């Protein structure tokens, strides 16, 4: 277990997955890609941390789904919460911002994959937008 100070704590709805982030966490990026929308039921809001800084206190219900050759997604097999997106070989873990305990101290920083946004909503803020389909945030 790391001796760094905890920067964030989080869990799924049923608490079958509980974790601490013991290092820097990035501000939130909102992803509009089709995979995120289908996984979350809407856009996905993710922060990110070094994988080594994420310490699990409970992970008995954590399962992984390989969603592409680039990444896998972590979810709770009991309550169904979508929690993580882990890009292959990058040593970092994207964490669903909604799974973090408040206050997070985070801000929304940008939108990505806006070209893939659905037609039932509009992006109405002035945050930076990225249309690049190869965005790796």
For 3-25, the pLDDT digits (tens) are 456 799 999 999 999 999 999 99
On whether the CB atoms of residues 11 and 32 are closer than 8 A, the answer is no
Match domain 8-130 to its CATH number in 2.170.150.70, 3.40.50.2300, 3.30.70.360, 3.30.360.10.
Answer: 2.170.150.70
The predicted pLDDT at position 3 comes to 47
Q: 135 falls in which pLDDT band (50, 70, 90)?
A: very low
The answer to whether the pTM exceeds 0.85 is yes
User: Is the pLDDT reported for residue 132 higher than 90?
Assistant: no
For 67-94, the pLDDT digits (tens) are 999 999 999 999 999 999 999 999 999 9
d(CA 108, CA 124): 13
On whether the CB atoms of residues 45 and 14 are closer than 8 A, the answer is no
Q: Domain boundaries in the chain?
A: 8-130
d(CA 38, CA 107): 24
């Amino acid at each position: 277990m790391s001796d760094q100070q905890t920067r964030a704590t989080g869990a799924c709805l049923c608490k079958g997955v509980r974790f601490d982030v013991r290092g820097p966490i990035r501000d939130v990026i909102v992803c509009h890609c089709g995979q995120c929308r289908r996984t979350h039921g809407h856009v996905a809001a993710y922060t990110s941390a070094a994988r080594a800084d994420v310490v699990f206190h409970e992970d008995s219900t954590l399962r992984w789904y390989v969603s592409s050759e680039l990444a896998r997604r972590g979810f709770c097999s009991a309550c169904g919460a979508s929690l993580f997106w882990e890009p292959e070989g990058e040593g970092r873990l994207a964490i669903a911002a909604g799974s973090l305990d408040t206050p997070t101290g985070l801000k929304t920083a940008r939108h990505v994959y806006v070209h893939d946004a659905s037609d039932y909503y509009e992006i109405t803020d002035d945050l930076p937008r990225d249309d690049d389909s190869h965005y790796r945030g």
